[in-house]
Amino acid sequence: MTIVLAVLSAALFGCGVGLQQRPARNVPDVYAAKPALLSRVVRRPLWLLGIAAEFAGFGLQVVALRHGALVVVQPLITTSLLFTLALAGLWSRDAVTGREWAGVVAVIVGLSAFMVLASPSEHSSGVANQTDWFILGTTMAAGVLALLISGFRSGGRSRAALFGLAAGLGDAVMAVLTKALAHSLGGGVGHTIHSWSPYALCVAGIGSILLSQTAYQTGRPTVSLPLITVTDPIVSSAIGVALFGEALRLDGLRAPAVILAALVMVLGLVALTRSTAVIERDEHHPAVADPVGGPV
């Protein structure tokens, strides 16, 4: 059940990303990482449809994390890129190329091998003490801030890479907080309302959306998308192991085999983000200056 829910969540996340990219990349760079960026994309029906799909995906992710661990659910969420590619292909009406099929196969084979070899545990406490949460929060906030500052000072591919890493960290934090929320739901709605997790998740959610839109805004999905897609499961799974007592089997020859499987999956993801369907820019609707806050 956990695997099915995670894949369905990935499908909705993938469609949401595909729908949000076009409106975001047509917003002028001056609005990067600013709340004004959201005030502009929110006017676009396509973006609203995308965010609705992501909210639905989040709901399924909560249920999946209620029954499973981060080390199980988050690697499966990386398949969202397959659905982003499928949606982009429908838009462009291009046939899937041999390289794209190779990327799909690499992702599926790498992910399957990882799940079998690493045998990630279903057990997860979903709880941590205040000191651990404080260390996690300050570390992640400092990392995101450093990446944003460096991104603002950069341009081109470097800017896209730094903003993509920041968005990936934001998504990882969201996954960890979602696991905490899923655990608190076990005590009932009343217990959840009086806990800190739903409120922290709301604040982090707004920040995560802003970071992802900033990454999409760079208009370089071949750089930002693989970093977002890969950073999220790696960081969130590592936090799950360190914070919630989750486990992977890395004894003996399993460790290099697991690393190889993960590498195959990453290479497949990178190949998919170089798809002509994914990187196609809307040349008929170029980004324009927006000095008075009009539609773009």
- What distance in Å separates the CA atoms of residue 74 and residue 278, rounded to the nearest whole number? 22
Among the listed residues 217, 250, 224, the one whose alpha carbon sits nearest the alpha carbon of residue 168: 224
The pTM for the full model equals 0.79
Per-position b or e across 165-190, b if 16+ CB within 10 A of its CB:
bbbbbbbbbbbbbbbbbbbbbeeeee
- What distance in Å separates the CA atoms of residue 91 and residue 108, rounded to the nearest whole number? 23
pLDDT in tens, 5-15: 999 999 999 89
**CB contact at 8 A, 121 and 247:** yes
The sign of the torsion formed by the CA atoms of 65, 70, 56, 42 equals positive
Structure confidence at residue 274 (pLDDT): 65
Angle between helical axes of 130-152 and 197-217 (0-180°, round to 10): 20
pLDDT band at residue 94 under the 50/70/90 scheme: low
Residue that has been written with the tokens 């900033």 in this structure: 214
Residue 104, pLDDT above cutoff 60? yes
Question: Of 101-105, 196-200, 235-239, where does mean pLDDT reach its minimum?
Answer: 101-105
Residue 136, pLDDT above cutoff 70? yes
pLDDT in tens, 39-82: 888 889 999 999 999 999 999 999 999 888 999 899 898 888 78
Higher local confidence (pLDDT), 186 or 177? 177
Q: What is the mean pLDDT of the chain?
A: 84
Question: Of 162-171, 221-230, 275-284, where does mean pLDDT reach its minimum?
Answer: 275-284
**CB contact at 8 A, 154 and 178:** no
Residue 103, pLDDT above cutoff 50? yes
**CB contact at 8 A, 220 and 164:** no
Residue 167, pLDDT above cutoff 50? yes
